[in-house]
């Protein structure tokens, strides 16, 4: 259970626990979930399997994917595991080709896979690969995968694309999150830009902005352990709401007001971070080798 459960529910976007409504939408449909080996992706995949979807599981770890698939099939569902690293172009292309051969056009794509890095700029001076990896997993890989899947979806004239994003992309930049925020913002903007054209082809797009979710990905930041946030299963219920209702966006109730209020105050917020952020212990040494 996440800490501060009442506050967590108050701050989080609303989910949908109606299994029958989900079944009406996804039964018999091919639903691809990236990042399906743990956390939000695993929780969503299990819900989809119980609702009668053909769940296509994608992630790097074959063993973990097969374990998730076993959970689904042992409960009477259908699951297919596709190990692939979204940071590797050849694996993304092979993934899309194999899915096309085995399932034809995908009905729903949930872009859930992600790479999170929280690191100060001064501790990143000799780590450009952090930025490359984040851009590959959070932006270039999903774009490459979606472009490969689109011809079949457009030929059928139907489909739904869901991106699992962060409230951070709608707020002023925060220190230490440069690699993660830039890459998540890139895919969010790409999908928002593509959405009108995709809608002309019968494909809906939903961007879901989640706050803190207590998963393996957030665990390395110790301060998050005591902060209010959703569990993976609660976040999965928000994605179920996205699949059922197909809105343009889903976000916590406070995000859009805060987005508009914070825009004119961005300079002040940057100053506040400069003034009150604890300095990096290695700043002087790294800035002046």
Q: Is the pLDDT of residue 282 over 70?
A: no
Among 169, 211, 190, smallest CA distance to 13 is for: 211
219, 201 contact by CB (below 8 A): no
Task: Specify the pLDDT at position 117.
Answer: 85
pLDDT of residue 118: 83
With b for 16 or more beta-carbon neighbours within 10 A and e for fewer, the 174-184 pattern comes to eebbbbbbbbb
Using only the alpha carbons of the chain, give its radius of gyration.
19
Pick the most confident of 40-49, 172-181, 224-233, 278-287. Answer: 40-49
96 contacts 121 by C-beta, under 8 angstroms: no
For 153-191, write each residue's pLDDT tens digit. 999 999 999 999 999 999 988 888 899 999 999 999 999
Asked if 180 is an active-site residue, the reply is: yes
List pLDDT tens digits, range 96-151: 999 999 999 999 999 999 998 888 887 878 898 999 999 999 999 999 999 999 99
Is residue 205 pLDDT above 90, yes or no?
Answer: yes
Q: How many CB atoms lie within 10 A of CB 103?
A: 15
Catalytic residue from among 122, 180, 209, 274: 180
The domain 5-287 is placed in CATH, from the list 3.30.1490.20, 1.10.340.30, 2.40.50.1020, 3.40.50.720, at 3.40.50.720
For residue 278, what pLDDT band results from cuts at 50, 70 and 90? confident
The pLDDT tens digits of the residues spanning 242-252 come to 999 999 999 99
Percent of the chain with pLDDT over 70: 94
């Amino acid at each position: 259970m996440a800490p501060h459960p009442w506050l967590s529910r108050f701050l989080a976007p609303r989910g949908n626990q109606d299994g029958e409504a989900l079944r009406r939408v996804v039964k018999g449909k091919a639903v691809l979930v990236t990042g399906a080996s743990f956390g939000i992706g695993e929780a969503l995949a299990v819900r989809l399997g119980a609702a009668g979807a053909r769940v296509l599981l994608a992630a790097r770890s074959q063993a973990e994917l097969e374990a998730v698939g076993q959970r689904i099939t042992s409960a009477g569902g259908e699951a297919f595991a596709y190990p692939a690293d979204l940071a590797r172009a050849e694996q993304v292309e092979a993934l899309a080709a194999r899915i096309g051969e085995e399932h034809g056009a995908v009905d729903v794509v949930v872009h859930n896979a992600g790479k999170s890095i929280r690191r100060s700029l001064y501790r990143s001076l000799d780590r450009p690969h952090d930025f490359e990896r984040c851009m590959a997993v959070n932006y270039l890989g999903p774009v490459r995968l979606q472009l490969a899947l689109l011809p079949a979806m457009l030929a059928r004239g139907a489909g739904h694309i869901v991106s699992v994003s962060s409230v951070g992309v709608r707020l002023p930049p925060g220190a230490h999150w440069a690699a993660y925020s830039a890459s998540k913002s890139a895919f969010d903007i790409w999908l928002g830009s593509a959405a009108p054209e995709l809608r002309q082809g019968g494909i809906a797009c939903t961007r879901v902005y989640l706050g803190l979710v207590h998963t393996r990905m957030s665990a390395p930041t110790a301060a998050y352990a005591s902060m209010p946030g959703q569990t993976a299963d609660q976040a999965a219920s928000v994605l179920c709401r996205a699949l059922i209702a197909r809105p343009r966006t889903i976000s916590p109730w406070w995000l859009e007001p805060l987005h508009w209020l914070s825009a004119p105050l961005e300079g002040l917020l940057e100053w506040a971070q400069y003034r009150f952020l604890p300095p990096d212990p290695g700043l002087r040494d790294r800035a002046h080798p």
